[in-house]
Amino acid sequence: GNSVTQMEGPVTLSEEAFLTINCTYTATGYPSLFWYVQYPGEGLQLLLKATKADDKGSNKGFEATYRKETTSFHLEKGSVQVSDSAVYFCALNYGGSQGNLIFGKGTKLSVKP
């Protein structure tokens, strides 16, 4: 079946550190891939997306590349800020009739000054 696996958290980093959050997926066909961010007390917001193999999504200094050969969509940022503290969710849409997105369990990131 279709699934998303992302690294367990929590992740704690110092400001300006490099961030990687791993995400791998299992899906039939050619899904679209997403990273969502949830700031404390808020709903999920789309951070970036990629719709086909080798696409790179980017936003707010975050990047992720759709790697079909390794079925991965790892999230990276070169220099994190305290304001990046949030929960990050990897998700896929395989276009099925059920209409839902498949989410990973989320990774909580805390950035210390």
Query: Measured between alpha carbons, how far is 57 from 49 in angstroms, rounded to an integer?
Result: 5
Query: Measured between alpha carbons, how far is 14 from 42 in angstroms, rounded to an integer?
Result: 23
**What is the smallest separation between the CB atom of 61 and another protein, expressed in angstroms?**
19
Is residue 110 involved in binding another protein (CB under 8 A)? Answer: no
Window of 17-25, 41-49, 59-67, 74-82 that interacts with another protein by CB under 8 A: 41-49
| Closest CB to another protein among residues 47, 80 | 47
Main-chain dihedrals φ then ψ at residue 41, nearest 5 degrees: 75, 10
User: What is the phi-psi region of residue 14: left when phi exceeds 0, alpha when psi lies from -120 to 50, beta otherwise?
Assistant: beta
Q: Which tokens sit at 60? A: 């707010």
Is residue 105 involved in binding another protein (CB under 8 A)? Answer: yes
Site string (1-40) toward another protein, x via CB under 8 A: ------------------------------xx-x-x----
